[in-house]
Amino acid sequence: MSKQHFGTDGVRGRVGQDPMTVDFAIRLASAAARVLVPEGGTVVIGKDTRLSGYMFESALEAGFVAAGADVLLLGPLPTPGIAHLTQAYNADLGVVISASHNLYDDNGIKFFDRSGSKLSDEIEQQIESQMQGPPITLESSKLGKARRIDLARVRYQEFCVSTYPEDLDLEGVKVVFDAANGAGYKVGPRTLANLGAEVVPIGCSPNGRNINKGCGSTNPQLLSLTVPAVNADVGVALDGDGDRVVMVDELGNIVDGDQLLYILATARQRDGELKGPVVGTVMSNLGLEHALGKAKIEFRRASVGDRYVLETLRETGGVIGGETSGHMIVLDRTTTGDGLVSALQVLAVMKRTGKKLSELADGMPKYPQTMINVRTDTKLDPGDSSAIQEAVVAVEDELRETGRVVLRASGTEPVIRVMVEGQDEDQVNALARKLAEVVAQAAT
């Protein structure tokens, strides 16, 4: 049975439009409580900095309390922080109010189970089936209670610091930190400062409307300009909810998730700590696969979405995986994608080796890769269109062994992502445009 509301990463949409309404949030909380929170159980709720977070926080609180669950309100905190505190507070369920890298007009709701992991497709389907009826309100004696946790941020900061090697610090390292005006705006700078770094914060002044706007991991151009301008050693950029990270080297060059995976994997290999294969996705750069192969490190591709990377890591016994976008999972340090923790691991490699980030990333050549998002008015499966499939075969024949083609429907937006990768940038750009035109025609 296909899911109606849950996408690749929870429920997401434009605020005020189905499903991102107060009514839906109350029904979702009531359904999730029936499936995952036994009577008298505990739910933790955190959010990012977008304006609508207050509204959805109240709606979810009401739905859970009415269903008999106790609620701990964590306030603004990165998504991985909420995953960690779900475990730390022995809660039955963790709830995140965030639309991740989207602008403030959107919002979303996603869940973590008691182990701090994202829900399976089967559990999400069970929750959706419970939403067919109205939300429940128990009698007064069975209602839950809600309270705010004032030290949640400090507790998460302490956890982040604990993932950094005890024998190292960040003294003498100047870091420009960009929180995308999102949930990491306090946690990030303070964690780095606690480890001894000199921190230059940008994108750390949220006003409810500027999350991900011209800053953060999806817009790292400001960071690229700032790092060399202030003579910093490195730049770190999170997205709005803090589960993605991209970095910038001392020259202002962007170092994406594929390159960060390469740096962490080869460092773990040198230290004898690498287990299982490194896991990327079908969108990971071919240069990563070739560079890891040269280092004799096994590489696997999962479907797009950090939840699928995590599933593959668990199936294969791996500990490091992620996406080009910067969703990094370091399973020997945390249970889910964590931008700040991942950045700390890279900073530790820099500190231990004495190498600059540009030197560490130099071992992975990036093949030219062009992705075009084709907006669709109706749901389209590229595999169902003979015109699209014929165009894909033609492009693959032209690339032969030197590149790849990936077409997929986004799980969070009404678009088809057209990706072409190869060794010749002009050829890649031309083929991507040609294929995108075919997809656009099929989508009308």
Give the residue among 274, 428, 444, 415 at the shortest CA–CA distance from 349: 274
- Tell me if 68 sits within 8 A of 144, measured CB to CB: yes
Q: Is there a catalytic annotation at residue 224? A: no
26 CB burial (10 A radius; 0-12, 13-18, 19+):
buried
Selection from 226, 122, 232, 220 nearest residue 180 by Cα: 220
How far apart CA 43 and CA 64 sit, in angstroms, is 8
At residue 310, what are phi and psi to the nearest 5 degrees? -65, -45
For residues 40, 29, 22, 104, the Cα torsion angle rounded to the nearest 10 degrees is 110
In whole angstroms, what is the distance from residue 396 CA to residue 432 CA? 11
Could you give the angle at the alpha carbon of 144 between the alpha carbons of 142 and 148, nearest 5°?
165
**Cβ-Cβ contacts under 8 Å for 164 (sequence gap 6 or more):** 195, 344, 345, 347, 348
**Do strands 278-281 and 299-302 pair parallel, antiparallel, or not at all (unpaired)?**
parallel
Of 339, 335, 340, the C-alpha closest to 319 is 335
Radius of gyration of the chain (CA): 22
Q: Are 60 and 109 in contact (CB under 8 A)?
A: yes
366 contacts: CB under 8 Å, gap ≥ 6: 258, 259, 285, 287
Decide: 203 and 227 in contact? Cβ < 8 Å.
no
Q: Which of 100, 224, 284, 385 is catalytic?
A: 100
Neighbours of 168 (CB within 10 A): 15
Distances (CA, A) of 336 to 155, 233, 407: 17, 27, 26
What CA–CA distance (Å, rounded) separates 415 from 373?
6
Token representation of residue 391:
């165009």
Dist CA 279 CA 74 (whole Å): 32
Active centre residues (catalytic): 100
